[in-house]
Amino acid sequence: MSSIDQLYGAHLSDLLARHRQLMQENDLDYLLIPSGAPLKIYLDDMYYPFKSSFLFRTYLPLTEVADSYLIIGLTGKPVLVYYQPVDFWHTPPSDPSGYWPEHFDIQVITEFEQALRYFPENSDRVAVLGEATRLTSRLNKTKQNPSELLNAIYWQRAYKSDYEIECMQQANDKAAYAHRVAELAFRDGKSEQQIHLAYVEATGMLEHQMPYGNIIALNQNCAILHYMECEAKVPELSRSFLIDAGVTVNGYHSDITRTYSAEKNEFSELIDAMEQMQLNCMDSIINGQEYLDLHINAHLQISEILNRFDILSLQPQEAVESGISGAFFPHGLGHLIGLQVHDVGGQFADASGKSNPPPSAHPFLRSTRKMETNMAFTIEPGLYFIDALLSKHRDGKYKQAFNWAKIDALMPFGGIRIEDDIVIKKDGIKNMTREAFAKL
């Protein structure tokens, strides 16, 4: 029996206990959770790639099973209505197997509307969680995504069980290996598309099964934060390589970024400095601290690097307070991660869902929560040379503080981002990403 097998039972038992308590607090007898329905392309006979609802995956490691339903009552085993159509056009879902079926009352159906036999009665003591389907829409008395219940679920989602942490660790293990394969492809002078395909092959997954679209960027494309174009042509000169890519295991994601230089030069020294800065950032984490404080401290450390490399003459504090550091580091330090790459509830103040937005100076920060035991985050500082952000300063108040000649020389390299997935522990952190690379 694997560690996943051993951990899942305890995970599910705790999950059901917590959610059933929330059901009682919200006067609910049942939760009805659709896995989701495939979305057909307009006026076509093909469908967009399907991924099951994260609310469904909260309980089940079924990432691509459509038109199925989970029904949770206040007692007993949850009922899984498992849609397994007779289909000769596509591969139907396989028979339920593995470590999870014993925990569910599984009702296999072969026709779409047979699911109605197992639905709870049409009542306001039933909550439908997720997107409404053709079948759940017939239950017109039920509560659709009641915010009080969902906000409490989302708040709890930040705290990961041992099972969830193990799934995420395995996702990091697989992604780290694929990252190493991608780096070798870069060293061999491959194109972005060739590197992307090497990564996908190394994961053993299909492209649509990735947790998000891989960012495979060479040279100046490293400065495009969500670069997706993936050019097929090999560039005349490969200066730099940024890869932001993960893997999914049992519905849980990894999210890893690394940056490489083709040669030993000032850009490679900047990468080394950012690597050490990221490690220092993680070493400084104290259980219970605000994620926002860690983010602001990252701005100070990046500003120190800019000063040290004679890119910006402002002292770190002034660079941050003036907003200049944001021209080089425009995104947030990281986010919650788990069943979603950007897990929900990152900007909640409490379990009620009260908003806790980031300050106006840091609008793109996705997490404003405290960093507490068993919460999982990414830590991904970046330093970029983005003309759209820097050009406005060429004639601005602080134009003399920029070393424009050096900035122009670094523009063709794009930028740097280094990202790890971590779990907060009582007396430190578990760095799932570094552990994964250490196994290679």
* CATH fold group of domain 162-438: Creatine Amidinohydrolase (3.90.230)
Please give the Cα distance from 187 to 181 (Å, whole number): 10
> What is the per-residue pLDDT for 364?
96
| Angle (nearest 5°) at CA 209 between 204 and 214 | 90
> What is the per-residue pLDDT for 194?
98
**Cβ neighbours of 27 (radius 10 Å):** 11
CATH number, domain 3-156, options 2.40.40.20, 3.40.350.10, 3.40.50.2000, 3.30.70.120: 3.40.350.10
CB 168 within 8 A of CB 238: no
Where in the sequence of the chain do the CATH 3.90.230.10 domains occur? 162-438
Where in the sequence of the chain do the CATH 3.40.350.10 domains occur? 3-156
Least Cα distance to 376 among 348, 347, 418, 334 occurs for: 334
> What is the per-residue pLDDT for 2?
66
Please give the Cα distance from 63 to 250 (Å, whole number): 7
Backbone angles phi, psi at 70, to 5 degrees: -110, 130
Block means of pLDDT (10 residues each) for the chain, 440 residues, are: 85 98 98 96 94 97 97 98 94 95 98 97 97 96 97 98 98 98 98 98 97 98 97 98 98 98 98 98 97 98 98 98 97 98 97 96 96 98 98 96 98 98 96 98
